[in-house]
Amino acid sequence: MKRIEFLRNSFIATGAALAGSTLNATASTSESGLATGLAGKTFNLDYAPHQGMFANHAGKSFLDQIQYMYDQGFRSIEDNGYLGRPVEEQKKIGDLLAKLGMRMGVFVVDGGDNWKTSLTTGKKEFKDKFVETCKLSVEAAKRCNAKWMTVVPGFYERKLPYGNQMANVVDAMRAGAEIFEPHGLIMVLETLSDTPELFLQQTHETYNVCKAVNSPSCKILYDIYHMQKTEGNLIVNMDRCWEEIAYIQIGDNPGRKEPTTGEINYKNLFKHLYNKGYKGVMGMEHGNSKGGKEGELRVIQAYRESDDFLS
């Protein structure tokens, strides 16, 4: 389940996804409560589901899904494709989050250049497009009180030495930070494993960019699934770069499904993050290991099990 697939699914769902009201989740809540025994209880960390994760219980409406997430104890959401939604839909999402006291996690600053050779080249056309999208993102963020936005600098430019590419990326990120900083917004640079063509692939590289930009508005999105694939040594690498990490995402490996389905000891990782005092959002950027209502209940149960690290 690659980033581009998350975005594509989000855009496909736009339109009909917000139809209807937020009145359909009550029966599903009690059903899920029977499975978890903890329906409505908040978690020790702030896990954030995304659209479609609980559609079998809550229905197609994203608003109903958000209500269901709240009823299950989640207090944040993610919406990668939020920037591509019509303004009216953005406002509806923001209004419901405000009503429920929930936080908006990341949405993607997607200028159309994330998945090709772009900002590494230093070409004005790509930087201008990035700056334009950052400005649009500021207005979108206001509608849902968002704080973090995902940025992917793009692919390698094989015609340039690495150092030149790094300088070009830093220059573009400084331009983005200048836009976001006056509004208290943070672009979080994501290090990915989807393809070896991506410029940022290990945490120390993204750490280097953030240090060079030197702005509170340019930080690291540490995706545990991707980093398990590219570098491992998760706790050590997080600790090395901790001062620049502002956002964390979750997915077990192999498979990119919920915790407990792969090789990562999420209960131990969550305890480590809790003990470090992490108060940010934990984006649930993964699929469900099983289909239907059973699979959705298993996702909730997996988070209850992995979040039970204080006993």
Catalytic residue among 78, 89, 244, 285: 285
Is residue 180 a contact partner of residue 138, using CB atoms and an 8 Å limit?
yes
Is residue 75 a contact partner of residue 66, using CB atoms and an 8 Å limit?
no
d(CA 18, CA 85): 10
| Contacts for 182 with CB less than 8 Å, ≥ 6 apart | none
Per-position b or e across 242-258, b if 16+ CB within 10 A of its CB: eebbbbbbbbbbeebbb
The encoded tokens of residue 194 equal 């989807």
| Cβ neighbourhood burial of 303 (10 Å; 0-12, 13-18, 19+) | buried
Rounded to the nearest 5 degrees, what angle is found at the Cα of 187, between the Cα atoms of 126 and 47? Answer: 135
Catalytic residue among 89, 190, 244, 258: 190
Whether 305 is a known active-site residue: answer no
Whether 190 is a known active-site residue: answer yes
Is residue 311 a contact partner of residue 50, using CB atoms and an 8 Å limit?
no
Indicate which residues carry an active-site annotation: 190, 285
